[in-house]
């Protein structure tokens, strides 16, 4: 079993960062031909998602919609200053599972893996684990 951590640096408060290349590199180094890639974000104000990566407007739209769904101004009971980010993370989620076939992530043609920063700018981590052979 192979596992590791990648580091992601964000430059804005809310940002979707494509980490597909980093995960592909980890897969290549693992030598795994078939199995599962688990991804986990250990932060309460950041998340992971898979979506279209060909058109950057998709990431901008996702960020805009999640900001609209989860208002910054709301009577939150916990007032750490990043309450909105906690809610956004709960909606998007902290993990992804991707099949591996023929030594490649089984992503759709346009799919990419995104680290979703909701309380940046910050330096963050995402953990990966590859199982299989």
* Six token digits for residue 31: 């030598």
pTM here is: 0.96
Torsion angle of C-alpha atoms 7, 13, 16, 20, degrees rounded to 10: -10
**What's CA 132's distance to the chain center, in Å?**
22
Written as tens digits, the pLDDT of the chain (133 aa) is 699 999 999 999 999 999 999 999 999 999 999 999 999 999 999 999 999 999 999 999 999 999 999 999 999 999 889 999 999 999 999 999 999 999 999 999 999 999 999 999 999 999 999 998 7
Write down all domains in the chain, each with its CATH number in brackets: 2-132 (2.60.120.460)
* Six token digits for residue 103: 């030594």
Say which residue the tokens 């986990």 belong to. Answer: 40
């Amino acid at each position: 079993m192979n596992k590791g951590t990648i580091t992601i640096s964000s430059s804005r408060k809310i940002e979707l960062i494509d980490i597909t290349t980093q995960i592909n590199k980890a897969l290549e180094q693992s030598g795994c031909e078939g199995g599962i890639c688990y991804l986990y974000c250990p932060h309460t104000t950041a998340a992971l998602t898979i979506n279209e990566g060909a058109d950057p407007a998709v990431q901008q739209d996702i960020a805009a919609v999640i900001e609209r769904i989860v208002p910054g101004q709301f009577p939150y009971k916990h007032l750490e200053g990043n309450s909105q980010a906690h809610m956004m993370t709960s909606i998007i989620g902290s993990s992804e599972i991707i099949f591996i076939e023929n030594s490649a992530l089984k992503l759709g043609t346009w799919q990419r893996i995104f680290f979703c920063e909701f309380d940046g700018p910050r330096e963050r981590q995402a953990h990966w684990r590859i199982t299989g052979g």
